[in-house]
Structure 1
Amino acid sequence: MSSPDRRTLIADTAIATVATAGLRGLTHRAIDTAAGLPAGSTSYYFRTRTALIGACYARIAELDLDDFDSGQPVPSDAGQSVAREEAAAAIGALLHRWLTTGRDRQLARYELSLEAARTPELGTALHQAGLAARARAAAALAALGAARPAEAADVLVAWTEGVLFDRLVGAMARTRPAPDPAELTAVARRMLDAALGVGSPGG
C-alpha cells in the first residue's frame, strides 16, 4: 500500500474510532490494530496525537465537501423557482446522507471540533474547513439569486449545523423517528428561503 493510501486508511480508521469510542479511544496503537497495520504504522505517519486529530479533521472536511459537490443539482433552465426547489431537494438529500450513512463521520466531526476549539494547533484546520464549506454555499446561493451570498451562506451553514446537531446528539435525538428525505427537503426549503431573504428588501 502506498503512503498516501495508508495515510487515508489511518485517517478513515481514526474517524470511525472517534465516532464509536470518542477521543478517549483515539490512540496510535488502537488505530494500528483496527486498521490491520503493523505496530508503529500510525505513529510513523502521524507522530503525535494532535497530528492524528488534524488528519482526521482534514479527511472529514474533504469527504463532506465531496458530498456537497456531488449532490449539487444541474443548473436548471426552467426558472428560478424550479432551481430553488432542486437546491432544496439537494440539501435535503445531503442532510439525509449525513444523518444515515454518513452519521459516524458527523459524530466524529463534532468530537474533533471540540478538541480543535481547545487546541490552538488544530484551529487552522477547523477554520479552513469552515471557509471551504461557506465558499461552496455562497456560490450556490449566488446562483440562486442571493443578494448577499456570503451572509446568506453563514446563515445556511449555521442552520444546517443546527439541524444535524439536533438530530444526531440533541436532547430529543433518541426519540425522533428515522430521518425522512421528504421531511428533510421541507426543512431545507424553509432554510433556503430564509437564507435567500438575507439582504433583500424586508429580509
Structure 2
Amino acid sequence: MTPDRRTLIADTAIATLAAEGMRGLTHRAVDRAAGLAEGSTSYYFRTREALIVAALDRMAEQDGTDIGDLGGVPTREGLAALMAGLLRRWLTDGRTRTLARFELTLESTRRPELRARLVEHGTGFVGLAEKLLAAAGADHPRRRAHELTAFVDGLLYHQLVGVGADAFDDAELLAVCRDAIGLVLP
C-alpha cells in the first residue's frame, strides 16, 4: 500500500535527517528525495519546525508499532528477549530512524522547543519501561526505567557508530540485555 503524502514526507524527512543531518533537512531536499514536485513538502508542512515535528511523530508511531502489545507479567528472560529484539530492530530495519533520532537529540541541546518535544515522546517509553519493571518486581521502578532506557540509548549509539567494538551478534546482544535486566531487577 502506498503511504499517504504526509506519511511519505515524514518518512523521507527521517531518511534525510539520517543521511544528511540537520543541515541537510530542507523542504526542497525532502521534495527531491521523495520524488515530489518542488513545493510539495512546504504545502503540507509550512515550516521546518512543522516538518521536524512530523518526523518526530512518525518515529514515535513506528517505535510504538515495533514495541507492540506487551500484555502479561514479564519475566526476566522475557524482558531481555524483548529488549534484544527491539535493539536488533532499531539497529537494522529501524537504523535510519535511530540515526535521525540521535541527530535530533543532539540538535535539541541547542533548541529548547525541540528538546521539549523529544522529552514528550521519550516520556512514553520511560513510562512503558516503568510499568514493565514494576510488574516484574523491580524496586524503584521509575528510577530503574530511566536507567534501562539510558542503557538502551547508550548501547544503540555505541553499536551504530562502532565506538571501540564490532557490532554484537544476536547471542551477544541477548547476553548484554540479560545483564542489563539483572541490574534493574532484584
Deviates more, 1:130-139 or 1:162-171: 162-171
CA distance in 2, matches of 1:136, 1:18: 27
* Partner of residue 181, structure 1: 170
Q: 1:4-15 to 2 correspondence within 5 Å?
A: 5-15=4-14
Instruction: Find the partner of 2:72 among 72, 75, 79.
Output: 75
CA distance in 2, matches of 1:116, 1:57: 12
Cα deviations by residue, 1:150-172 (Å, 9 ceiling, x for unpaired): 11101100111111111112532
Q: 1:45-194 to 2 correspondence within 5 Å?
A: 45-69=44-68, 72=70, 75=72, 83-172=75-164, 176-177=166-167, 179-194=168-183
Which stretches in structure 1 are left out of the alignment for 5+ residues? 198-203
TM-score by length of 1: 0.83
CA distance in 2, matches of 1:90, 1:114: 27
Kept in 2, the 8 Å contact 1:23–1:111? The answer is yes
Report the secondary structure of 1:22's partner residue: helix
Cα root mean square deviation, aligned: 2.0
Cα deviations by residue, 1:68-124 (Å, 9 ceiling, x for unpaired): 225x4x636xxx7xx211211111111111111111110111001112221122222
CA distance in 2, matches of 1:86, 1:9: 34
AA partner of residue 129 (structure 1) = H
Report the secondary structure of 1:145's partner residue: coil
CA distance in 2, matches of 1:58, 1:117: 19
* Partner of residue 29, structure 1: 28
AA partner of residue 7 (structure 1) = R
Kept in 2, the 8 Å contact 1:92–1:182? The answer is no
AA partner of residue 177 (structure 2) = A
Deviates more, 1:16-25 or 1:126-135: 16-25
The CA deviation at 1:45 is: 1.6
Larger Rg: 1
Cα deviations by residue, 1:172-198 (Å, 9 ceiling, x for unpaired): 2xx514x4121111111111111124x
Runs of 4+ in 1 over 6 A off after TM superposition: none
Cα deviations by residue, 1:34-73 (Å, 9 ceiling, x for unpaired): 1122221111121111221122122212212221225x4x
Which stretches in structure 2 are left out of the alignment for 5+ residues? none
